[in-house]
Amino acid sequence: MVATSNPSAALAGIEILRKGGNAIEAALAAAISMPVVEPTCNGLGADLFAIISYKNKLYGINGSGRSPKKISIQALREKSYEDMPFFGVDSVNTPGAVGAWFEIYNKFGKLPLKEIFEPAINYAKNGYALSPKVAKLWDDEVNKYKNLKDICGLEEFFKVFSDKGKAPKAGDIVKNDNLKNTLEEILETEGKSFYSGDLARKISSSVKDLGGFLDIDDLKAYKPLWVDPISTNYKGYDIWEMPPNGHGVSVLMALNILNKLTLTDREDPKTLHKIIEAIKIAMTDGKTYISDPSFMKKRVDELLSDEYAEKRKKLIGICAKNYKNILPISPSTVYMATADSDGNMVSLIQSNYNGFGSGIVVPTTGIALNNRLANFSFDSNSVNALSGGKLPYHTIIPGFISKDNKSIGPFGIMGGFMQPQAHVQVLTNMIDFNLNPQAALDAPRFMWTGDKNVEMEMDYGNYMINTLKEFGHNMIIRSDYTDMGRGQIILRLENGSYVGATEKRTDGYIGIY
């Protein structure tokens, strides 16, 4: 089974399974296709995280890049910045996804690399039909970059990813010769060109021409990290996330708090109030403590301790509390889940951060560079303060579920700072309220955006909304669900069958072979 936000990417994974590939190779084929078929949310300049269950053992890979060695808060101040740049060449971090693809393949791959790259190259060369949600996101992105009039270097973006300033429409057949050629070069050199060869020189040269910091030494120094996923037991299920620099730990912190509370009917406003407050506490502490692990002042085991959860539980009362923590909204990122007949499963997520990222596209290559530096802090006293060669606070988080030392399956919901919040909501829907995976994804969601502000889908009834207002929440009702996350789930039943689910909020697709 392959479940992704994009039908073309899902079919790429299914094609690999039909050829005898495993779940890991299927996930790679989908991930390599995503910069072609859903470039609005990731690209060849993206980062990647994955949790892999292979022969019932969990592996984690951190495919995020470090900040350029020559960058610093002082260097940005000298360029007249008063906060971290969100777009443009000064927001570009070292890309990690391409290197992570090869690291994963070298550990688990069996099929020839050419077969795994073939779907993506075919999509770029021969075209694919643009799906409706991606078309909308593409149009939003083109209009966004049009309004960034003070940002230098956006010309190549419009040249490669628009037609005279207009985005392609749903149903259009989209091709990209630049991406085709670049993918072929990445394949032929097994990724070496991207980090130390011709592509690396093109990336560093284009950044240098625009006055940016990323250079070829940063690319040469990049290495993905194999890490142990972290977990907590939530009401009998082990919930797994990636350790920092990602903020998956905030999911586990919130669940630990909820473990100590009684959640009754999901239609009860008191229940939703408890979930909202637990998320607010965990996200606020996450923004305070999460960073490059070498800089963290609190260990993960401290944040996941029973003492921490007990102390934080006491902060939840009958009234909404105010936490000064402004969280930017973004519908970006792509997620994919895969599973094979041997029980191997993958939870993989990939992102440029915000849309196409920095808006900087390397000429002739189609490589859209990320804007992940925006997640650093401009406050030199923060554990997440910008400095050279450092991993940033990272928003993309693949999830995984196991029980009694047996892998059950991958899950993930994309969308910036919505991701931990959606993880908690979907997990409580399944575990506390006994919803099946599809119903758990389809259920209405909320998003805390800072202070007492809670954005809520209009599917919630008036009683829920009005009662939460009485509790002190500032309710903002949303009719557009784009920012509320786009997720997929695959769960393995005891008989070996798989159950798959995908979002109503995206063009998701579940492929079965």
The pLDDT of residue 474 is 96
CA 333 to chain centre: 5
3-state helix, strand, coil in the chain (%, to 5): 40, 20, 40
pLDDT in tens, 126-154: 999 999 999 999 999 999 999 998 899 99
pLDDT band at 479 (very low <50, low <70, confident <90, very high): confident
Identify the three-state secondary structure at position 345: strand
The pLDDT of residue 326 is 67
Structure tokens at 119: 């779907």
Mean pLDDT on 322-344: 85
Could you give the residue ranges of the DSSP H alpha helices within 172-327?
177-188, 192-196, 198-209, 216-221, 249-259, 269-289, 300-303, 306-313
**What are the residue boundaries of the structural domains of the chain, listed by start?**
2-222+332-375, 227-329+397-497
The pLDDT of residue 82 is 95
pTM: 0.96
pLDDT in tens, 389-422: 999 999 999 999 999 999 999 999 988 789 999 9
Mean pLDDT on 186-199: 98
pLDDT in tens, 299-327: 999 999 999 999 999 999 999 999 877 66
Smallest CA-to-CA distance from 341 within 9, 23, 69, 34 is with: 23
Residue 452 pLDDT > 70 = yes
Contact yes or no for 85/96 (Cβ under 8 A): no
As a whole number of angstroms, the distance between CA 86 and CA 378 comes to 12
The pLDDT of residue 23 is 98
Contact yes or no for 353/25 (Cβ under 8 A): no
For residue 463, which amino acid is it?
A: Y
110 — alpha (psi -120 to 50), left (phi > 0) or beta? Answer: alpha
Smallest CA-to-CA distance from 30 within 61, 9, 60 is with: 9
Structure tokens at 248: 């998956």
pLDDT band at 27 (very low <50, low <70, confident <90, very high): very high
Smallest CA-to-CA distance from 446 within 273, 307, 262, 256 is with: 273
As a whole number of angstroms, the distance between CA 269 and CA 112 comes to 54
As a whole number of angstroms, the distance between CA 402 and CA 410 comes to 9
As a whole number of angstroms, the distance between CA 183 and CA 400 comes to 30
Smallest CA-to-CA distance from 182 within 35, 336, 358, 30 is with: 35
pLDDT in tens, 75-95: 999 999 999 999 999 999 999
The pLDDT of residue 331 is 67
Contact yes or no for 241/251 (Cβ under 8 A): yes
**Strand-pair category, 509-511 with 498-502:** unpaired
The end-to-end CA distance of the chain, in Å, is: 6
Residue 201 pLDDT > 70 = yes
As a whole number of angstroms, the distance between CA 193 and CA 200 comes to 6
CATH class of 227-329+397-497: mainly alpha
Could you give the residue ranges of the DSSP H alpha helices within 369-496?
419-431, 437-442, 462-470
Question: Residue 252 to residues 231, 274, 488: CA-CA distances in angstroms?
Answer: 7, 15, 19
pLDDT band at 483 (very low <50, low <70, confident <90, very high): confident
